[in-house]
Amino acid sequence: MSYPYVLLSAAVSLDGYLDDTGPERLLLSSPADFDRVDAVRAASDAILVGAGTIRADNPRLLVNSAERRAARVAAGRPEYPLKVTVTASGDLDPAAQFWHTGGEKIVYTTDSGAERAARLLGDTAEVVPLGPGLDWRALLEHLRVVRGVRRLMVEGGGTVHTQLLQQGLADELQLVLAPLLVGDPAAPRLFGPGAYQAGRLRLVETRRIEDVVLMRYEPTAPGTGPVPSAADRHWLRTACELAALCPPSETAFSVGAVVVAADGTELARGHSREGDDPVVHAEEAALAKIAPADPRLAGATVYSSLEPCARRASRPAPCAELILRAGVRRVVTAWREPDTFVEAADGSGVLVTAGAEVVVLPEYEEQAKAPNRHLAG
């Protein structure tokens, strides 16, 4: 599966009131922050809001800056990002500003909602049924594969944000905190009840913008089983970046690896030929930094830019065996090992046979291959 980068954007008051919905339209962001949001929109391929937000706010969701729109066109992109909404029922107001401003629009809905949405909207928007229910993974894959969306900005509402976070599909949360106390118990909140992914989000930026504060977070907790999460993509990208640190070699691959506990804690990282060891492999280097009795290993995930080796001449135990000995039962990788040095290598097969889960994210294969371009095969 290939998904766009999913960025959730919202403004909240000090007591959790969400955005500027409601008849009085309390504006939480400052003018400078509205301009920042405009820049984020201009950098996105698509902007998504739930149908409830269209009904409550009647938004236009435009890039307001003429200079930013001109820059998009100069770069060969549409003047406005694709506008996307999601509705289970197909109950949409055809008079809403959303449909009559900006560029292309697309509606994702259920099989039962598709007929109603198409009847209400006519040729105003493309209507895409996702099946009997709203399948977020199918939606994201359609946006990426069919519509070419690489970066998706999600501006609400709370139900949409909740579902994307609970399913581990949000790559980034941009949260703006406004110095206001609302106190209305009926006011909409940013997130709803339910089970969320484990672990703490990683704070990657804080920025003062007039009287509000922007906070940017990334998820850290690995996915479970065969279904990848946004955090899996973050950690695998880190492993690929580590591969670029390897001293070049004509006789071995450059590989990076990270070991991450179930709660998102990084346990160790490593890369090929790290330190003074000219033959150490990335997974081997990372696992050597963790106490063998560390109980977190049993629930950890190993991220490796290249499939862990099944056979090697330089050491008694290949990396697939080292991973199994450590008690790790989930591996995420970007690239299956070619026959360059070992014919018919199948570290994934060794892991799966022993009961481990192996997840391959081919969208990172080119990044994993980059530091190995000089090798034949």
Taking the chain (377 residues) in runs of 10, the rounded mean pLDDT of each run is 91 75 64 95 97 91 98 98 97 96 97 96 96 95 97 92 93 93 78 83 96 96 92 97 94 96 96 94 98 97 97 90 98 91 90 97 95 81
Q: How far apart are CA 327 and CA 353, in angstroms?
A: 14
CA 5 to mean position of chain CA atoms: 5
pLDDT at 340: 81
pLDDT at 21: 47
DSSP string computed for 90-142: ----TTSHHHHSSS-EEEEE-HHHHHHHHHHHGGGSEEEE-SSS--HHHHHHH
Structure pTM?
0.89
Judging by beta carbons within 10 Å of its beta carbon (0-12, 13-18, 19+), is residue 189 exposed, middle or buried? middle
Beta bridge partners of 177: 12, 213
Query: What phi and psi values does residue 222 have, to the nearest 5 degrees?
Result: -60, 160
Handedness of CA 293, 295, 298, 300 (dihedral sign): negative
Chain segment 67-110, per-residue pLDDT in tens: 999 999 999 999 999 999 999 999 999 999 999 999 999 999 99
Sign of CA dihedral 115, 142, 104, 85: positive
pLDDT of residue 29: 84
What is the arrangement of strands in the sheet containing 357-360, beginning at the earlier edge strand? 266-271, 256-260, 301-304, 330-333, 357-360
- Tokens representing 179 are 């110095």
Written as one letter, the residue type at 174 is Q
Query: How confident is the model at residue 20, as a pLDDT?
Result: 52
